[in-house]
Structure 1
Amino acid sequence: MNKILSIFDGSSIAYRSYFVFKDNPLFNSYGENTSAEFGFLNSVLKVLKETRSNYIAVCFDKGKSKRENYYIKYKIHRPKMPDELSLSIYRIKQIVSALNYKIFEIEGYEADDIIGTIVYKLKNSFDKTYIISSDKDLIQLVEDNVFVYDTRSGILYDKNKVVEKFGIEPKFLPDYLTLIGDISDNIEGIRGIGPKTAIELINKFGNLENLIENLDNLPPKIYVEII
């Protein structure tokens, strides 16, 4: 039997499910908003049916992200989590425990940090690993036996799909986002560099370290912005 691992970004799925139903929320008989719980369970059932995973892990954000210590503007534009969503996440964890799935959460770390660590350490222990999240940062983890299912678009990313979508290999996604910026995390890119230019630079120089070593070979306009 193949060993297939599915890792769910519990926080991302809960957030998205809650806000998808924001204008028409779901309630239980006690009047409690259960949109996040409904969306989370739907995602789990859909993925398990399609992937036939026999190993399940669910990761959650916990506490203030340590990234804020290094970049004060990190996600500063995002509103505070609604109280009812916080309660929903608590109930989702109860559901996950009742299903006997493993929960991972570490104070000061986001779910994607934990997912990245699990994949890095265990990817060779499984025939296939599926990451379920709408966080595009996780697409950098795609390899021959690692896939990302985007809950926002419904796209299943393998290596070919990443190249088709972004024009670069998965491993270069952090370099790409550094150049163009990431609005969702409130991270500014380099002025004057958009997706097209970023793709051209990465395909020519590879990662940012190599690009920096070749600054003299850059067009003057881009050189000025980078330095």
Structure 2
Amino acid sequence: MMRLPLPNAIWTLFLLTACGGSSAMPDGEGPGYPTHIEAPSAFAGEWAIEQEVSIRHAEGESSFHAVLQKRGDQIVMMGLGPAGGRAFALTQEGVQFDWETFLPIELPFPPEYMLYDVHRTWLQPNNPPLDGAAEAVFERHGERIRERWDGTRLMERSFERLDGRPEGIIVVRYPGGLSSDAPAASAPPDEVIFENRWYGYTATVRTLEYTPIWLGSRGYGRRAAKGTTETPSSRV
């Protein structure tokens, strides 16, 4: 298999997004990263998002580019190298995961942990409170979920394990608000902040380009590169 050069920032991301730096998940011990996963087809829409992801953790800060694509019962996360080449591809088909890597070493944690953050950010029911309340609190899949709404736009969602394993919360913030039909039928926010207090890292995800695939045409998206018609969906 051909090996692509691996930027230090990407490898630092791998070590920290799921392992949380100094608060690393135990190898085979403790609660791990409990997350309920649905099949992608449980959520409407087909789309692709090109992203810049910055990770802040106890050891410093790192960043990388990725393309996230959902089509039918499949979602693909592709990490990109500095020249646009593939560093890795993580695929969920139904509830099964497949990992393809161009990295010279193995990850010290299950690769699907990276998609767990994707599910908590993008693949959740977005149902504004029927009574127009600004806050909703409910329990689902062993977690207490708290949502803060501004009309039909979700501003913040947090997750807390009912059994306290792990301790703390995960908070996802959507500055400007996440529309209740995004990203299935409308653009995601310019920026999302994912704070994992379970394992001590904060990810800032910036949308570089958004493509609703159902439009069936290239060139739709946000901040598309000048002079090109290539979309994230054409690269995955």
Q: TM-score, with normalisation over the residues of structure 2?
A: 0.27
Of Structure 1 and Structure 2, the greater strand share is in: 2
Of Structure 1 and Structure 2, the greater helix share is in: 1
Larger Rg: 1
Q: TM-score, with normalisation over the residues of structure 1?
A: 0.28
